[in-house]
Homo-oligomer: A and B are copies of this chain.
Amino acid sequence: MLGVRCLLRSVRFCSSAPFPRHKPSAKLSVRDALGAQNTSGERIKVQGWIRSVRSQKEVLFLHVNDGSSLESLQIVADSSLDSRELTFGSSVEIQGQLVKSPSKRQNVELKAEKIKIIGNCDAKAFPIKYKERHPLEYLRQYPHFRCRTNVLGSILRIRSEATAAIHSFFKDSGFVHIHTPIITSNDSEGAGELFQLEPSGKLKVPEENFFNVPAFLTVSGQLHLEVMSGAFTQVFTFGPTFRAENSQSRRHLAEFYMVEAEISFVNSLQDLMQVIEELFKATAMMVLSNCPEDVELCHKFIAPGQKDRLEHMLKNNFLIISYTEAVEILKQASQNFTFTPEWGVNLQTEHEKYLVKHCGNIPVFIINYPLAIKPFYMRDNEDGPQHTVAAVDLLVPGVGELFGGGLREERYHFLEERLARYLDLRRFGSVPHGGFGMGFERYLQCILGVDNIKDVIPFPRFPHSCLL
């Protein structure tokens, strides 16, 4: 087979030389070149990195990728254009004619007229090897090169699409975007260990604070969104948050991204859950429709079976059970848990896993948690005898807790008994409101099936590691 194709190619090449004079070639991205519908031999220019080289007697085949798509563009050249510098990883600029490909593997290919080496790549020294499928753990050592592999390229394009989809979702729903601050004098809700900061070199004299008060990296934009929800009825933020926790788990980072929203005048968790479910599904649909090949690569090579699991999540309504029901389900489980399920105690990872499985691997909302295990600002359900608050978490297959949120206590006298700091916000035109936060990396893990959170963020930061 290969022999016949090569013969055909050499014949075609013979007949096309010498090349006619032509106007400057239009520069196209690989994505646009691949998507060209009616290729009648336009002269184009493509720039990118060589992903494969196949040098034959009369014909040279290259695959060039420029990051605009997973698929590379096939370059077909006369072997006279071959050079020792055309190696895996080197950067090139290629001019030629975009033609219909005789092969079924691609629609079009570029018949090269000129190949210019832009930057060499010494394949021996380059840590990414030709034709090798490197384990994700190996690639993590090279944060500056792993984006040149198929899998990280796909994940980063998906991350970019998901980011755009989240912004669109909120904009189309009438939310105002707020840049909540990264540096804050709040130590927030005690949501974990904080990073404190000072101008470099002044760390040893912390009594002289740059901001006059101790300053920390934010753990959540919630308080600042709540401020804004006193003027705009729908607000959201999407930025980095931080935890100084000494965790090496596959679900935690020291720096990660959160999508957070607050909505004023909401009276029920139902309203919040609707937004959460819509956000989850709309974002996934947008990603699936805008980069299907990238998603397919993840589902095929990283998480076999994930395609069906995601479809299952998208086509079904998410379930809702109360915390009290959840504890009952756990108590009746045949499984032996390390932590005995008990009302009034936080759910453990093993419990979350069981509940999601019990619910048929559909995301499940757990609502109405005990007052004692949720932050002071959660709205009192005034129920009894078991005292609960209007808090909600969304548990998803493979990841566990993806969203956390709830109605906020807007009633001044309820809060008065609890905390002073929060009071000022409730004195002037207080409104019932609620909100939620979603871990963006966990969302990507959830839809893609990527096991380790360090592989869905461009530059992961975690204890003992801050590469670049």
Contacts and interface: CB of A to CB of B under 8 A. Distances in A.
Given A160-B176, A195-B197, A185 B217 contact: no
B432 A255 contact: no
A458 B265 contact: no
Interface string A420-436: 00001111111110000
A163 interface: yes
Interface stretch (A55-63, A199-207, A342-350, A399-407): A199-207
A156 B174 contact: no
A114 interface: no
Nearest to A461: B183
A381 interface: no
Contacts of A164: 167, 171, 177
B184 A232 contact: no
A144 interface: yes
A426 to B, nearest CB: 8
A194 interface: yes
Interface on chain A toward B: helix, strand, loop, or mixed SS?
loop
Given A183-B255, A230-B148, A464-B212, A265 B431 contact: no
A264 B27 CA distance: 13
Contact of A145 (B125, B428, B464): B428
A153 B197 CA distance: 31
A9 interface: no
Contacts of A66: 232-233, 264
Contact of A182 (B182, B216, B230): B182
A466 B228 contact: no
A465 B210 CA distance: 8
A410 interface: yes
A227 B196 contact: no
Contacts of A430: 91, 118-120
A199 B58 CA distance: 62
- Counted per complex, copies of this chain come to 2
Given A183-B254, A215-B466, A463-B211, A200 B429 contact: no
B265 A93 contact: yes
A275 interface: no
A437 interface: no
Contacts of A269: none
A213 B89 CA distance: 31
Interface size class, chain A: 35 or more
Contact of A424 (B119, B144, B156): B144
Contacts of A163: 167, 177, 179
Interface string A158-171: 01100110010001
CB-CB nearest 10 A-B residue pairs? A67-B232, A119-B430, A199-B244, A211-B466, A147-B231, A160-B177, A91-B429, A181-B459, A196-B200, A121-B429
30 contacts: A31-B174, A49-B230, A49-B231, A66-B232, A89-B429, A91-B430, A119-B431, A122-B428, A125-B427, A125-B428, A144-B230, A145-B230, A145-B428, A163-B177, A180-B458, A182-B242, A183-B255, A195-B197, A195-B199, A195-B200, A196-B200, A197-B217, A200-B214, A203-B203, A210-B254, A211-B461, A224-B458, A224-B468, A227-B468, A240-B240
Interface of A: 29, 31, 47-50, 66-68, 89-91, 93, 118-122, 125-126, 143-145, 147-148, 153, 156-157, 159-160, 163-164, 167, 171, 174, 176-187, 193-201, 203-204, 206, 210-217, 223-224, 227-228, 230-233, 239-240, 242, 244, 246, 254-255, 257, 264-265, 410, 424-432, 457-459, 461, 463-468
